[in-house]
């Protein structure tokens, strides 16, 4: 059976110490697509800089990511373990800049902080910057916490459900039955006409 769906681009934003979390979210979004995609008429397409960014000269690396991902994303999921990340010309870190730009553009942004034990190798300077950033972010809205990569992935799945419902991204494009395999007509949610 084939179905038509709206594709939403989900930017997975985080510093470099979150490889396990990034992999867990990517897997969870794949599961979400299988369990909910057809019913909701929506598929979530994860965007991860290490897999999808195209090297381009002509600006700060963060500006390249902003152009390729932040501007095209429909949702941003940002999370932090024990690092804030590398400062950019525009913000305290690349992830912080992605959060700021997406929020200013009116996109759904979900921000989570780890409650896992801090590794002994953690940089005290990064921990202090991260604590200050979290404190600053508390005035911007409700922040999430996670206890493991799997716990974070589960919360992200709930956030995508929330966004699909509140942003009215459920597809009204129609379904085609009786065809072997799956045919996907993908349109980014931001390109969809009402």
Nearest to 92 by CA among 122, 142, 137: 137
The confidence band for 141, taking pLDDT boundaries of 50, 70 and 90, is: very high
**What pLDDT is attached to residue 4?**
86
pLDDT at 189 over 70: no
Q: What is the pLDDT of residue 26?
A: 97
Beta-carbon neighbour count of residue 158 at 10 Å? 12
The whole-model pTM stands at 0.86
Spatial distance between the Cα atoms of 55 and 138, rounded to a whole number of angstroms: 34
- Token digits of residue 61: 């690396």
CA distance 53 to 38: 28
pLDDT, mean of residues 137-154: 97
3-state secondary structure 154-168: HHHHHHHHHHHHHCC
Q: How far apart are CA 194 and CA 191, in angstroms?
A: 10
User: Taken in order 129, 85, 120, 147, is the CA torsion positive or negative?
Assistant: positive
Look up residue 23 and give its two tokens. 């992999």
Q: Give residue 1's pLDDT band: very low, low, confident or very high (50, 70, 90).
A: low
Helix or strand (DSSP H, E) at 103:
helix 94-104
Instruction: For 5, list phi and psi in degrees, rounded to 5.
Output: -145, 155
Residue 178: the pLDDT is 37
Cβ contact 171:36 at 8 Å: no
Residue 123 clears pLDDT 90, i.e. is over it = yes
Contact between 4 and 174 (Cβ < 8 Å): yes
Cα–Cα nearest to 64, from 73, 72, 74, 54: 54
């Amino acid at each position: 059976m084939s179905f038509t769906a709206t594709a939403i681009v989900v930017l997975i934003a985080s510093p470099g110490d979150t490889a396990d979390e990034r992999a867990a979210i990517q897997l969870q979004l794949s599961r979400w697509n299988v369990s909910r995609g057809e019913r909701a008429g929506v598929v979530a397409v994860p965007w991860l800089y290490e897999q999808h960014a195209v090297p381009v000269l002509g600006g700060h690396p963060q500006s390249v990511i902003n152009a390729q991902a932040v501007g095209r994303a429909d949702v941003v999921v940002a999370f932090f373990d024990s690092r804030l990340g590398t400062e950019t010309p525009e913000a305290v870190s690349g992830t912080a800049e992605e959060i700021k730009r997406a929020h200013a553009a009116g996109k759904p942004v979900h921000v989570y902080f780890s409650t896992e034990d801090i590794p002994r190798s953690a940089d005290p300077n990064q921990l202090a910057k991260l604590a200050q950033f979290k404190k600053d972010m508390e005035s911007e809205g409700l922040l999430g916490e996670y206890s493991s990569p799997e716990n974070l992935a589960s919360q992200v799945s709930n956030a995508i459900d929330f966004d699909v419902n509140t942003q009215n991204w459920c597809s009204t494009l129609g379904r085609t039955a009786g065809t072997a395999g799956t045919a996907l007509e993908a349109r980014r949610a931001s390109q969809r006409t009402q």
